[in-house]
Amino acid sequence: EVQLVESGGGLVKPGGSLRLSCAASGFTFSNAWMNWVRQAPGKGLEWVGRIKSKTDGGTTDYAAPVKGRFTISRDDSKNTLYLQMNSLKTEDTAVYYCTTFSVGAFDYWGQGTLVTVSS
């Protein structure tokens, strides 16, 4: 059974940093393309970014609102996905989900972790 468990969320001041983790199990993590998707309170879903498997180059792509501030990385030895968030803004407040990616869609989702950016 695929399991994705996010952690690392919390309250941070504007301009601060936070690192989220996503522990994966139940599938071959090293072969997976992984994504982060966020959802602001009471709002819709927003794609944040993606990292390919190392076999496919390990490259990353980001949505425009987070490009240059957020960095996605992975540790295949630990089956863990990361999201480093710097220069946080109030508009980054959201539940952050990690997802797998196959058949051209986000197929498995974690339960999410809440990030609140507030002074």
Partner 1 sequence: QSALTQPASVSGSPGQSITISCTGTSSDVGNYNLVSWFQQHPGKAPKFMIYEVSKRPSGVSNRFSGSKSGNTASLTISGLQAEDEADYYCCSYGGSSTWVFGGGTKLTVL
Shorter beta-carbon distance to partner 1: residue 17 or 50: 50
Shorter beta-carbon distance to partner 1: residue 16 or 45: 45
Note the residues at the interface with partner 1 (CB under 8 A).
35, 37, 44-47, 50, 61, 63-64, 97, 103-112
Torsion of CA 74, 76, 78, 84, to 10 degrees: 0
Token code pair at residue 105: 């869609």
Which is it for strands 113-117 and 94-101: parallel, antiparallel or unpaired? antiparallel
End-to-end, the C-alpha distance of the chain in Å comes to: 40
Q: How far is the CB of 77 from partner 1 (least distance, A)?
A: 26
Q: How far is the CB of 62 from partner 1 (least distance, A)?
A: 8
Shorter beta-carbon distance to partner 1: residue 13 or 27: 27
Q: How far is the CB of 52 from partner 1 (least distance, A)?
A: 9
CB 76 within 8 A of CB 29: yes
